[in-house]
Amino acid sequence: MGNVFKDRLTQRRQELHITQRMLAKKIGRGPTTISSYESGYREPSLDTVVRMAKSMGCSVDWLLGVEASPASKESSKVPAWLNPIIDDLSGVKKPADQKVIKMMVKTMVKSLSQS
């Protein structure tokens, strides 16, 4: 995958103000795994790259250096910095409740952008 991947992984994680440990937990990996990816010592599987992109609100193509912009089509409605907050709603267990909260956040973001 090369330098572009490890640089963009580090860049995106730092932009979102999340630690390697936090990202590792989100994607179901050990805390030292993210460090190994960012240093270029190890390369993740495609499945892991997809999970990282989703959890950080960016596209796989951007992480791999194919696109210039980190925005993914799904994440463009909600600012990327909100995705970790939305994903970390650990007190909300029911998928239907999580969906309602996500819709509320999207509505708030939309109204803020219009004002």
Residue at token pair 């590792």: 24
List the CATH code of the domain at 1-115.
1.10.260.40
Q: What is the tens place of the pLDDT at every residue in 70-114?
A: 765 444 455 666 666 666 665 666 777 777 777 777 777 676 666
Torsion of CA 89, 51, 54, 94, to 10 degrees: -30
Q: What pLDDT score does 104 carry?
A: 77
Counting residues of the chain whose pLDDT is more than 90, the rounded percentage is: 38
Q: What single DSSP character describes residue 50?
A: H
Rounded Cα gap, residues 55 and 38, in angstroms: 16
Higher pLDDT, 13 or 108: 13
Q: How far apart, in whole angstroms, are the C-alpha atoms of residue 9 and residue 73? A: 18
Q: What is the pTM of this model?
A: 0.62
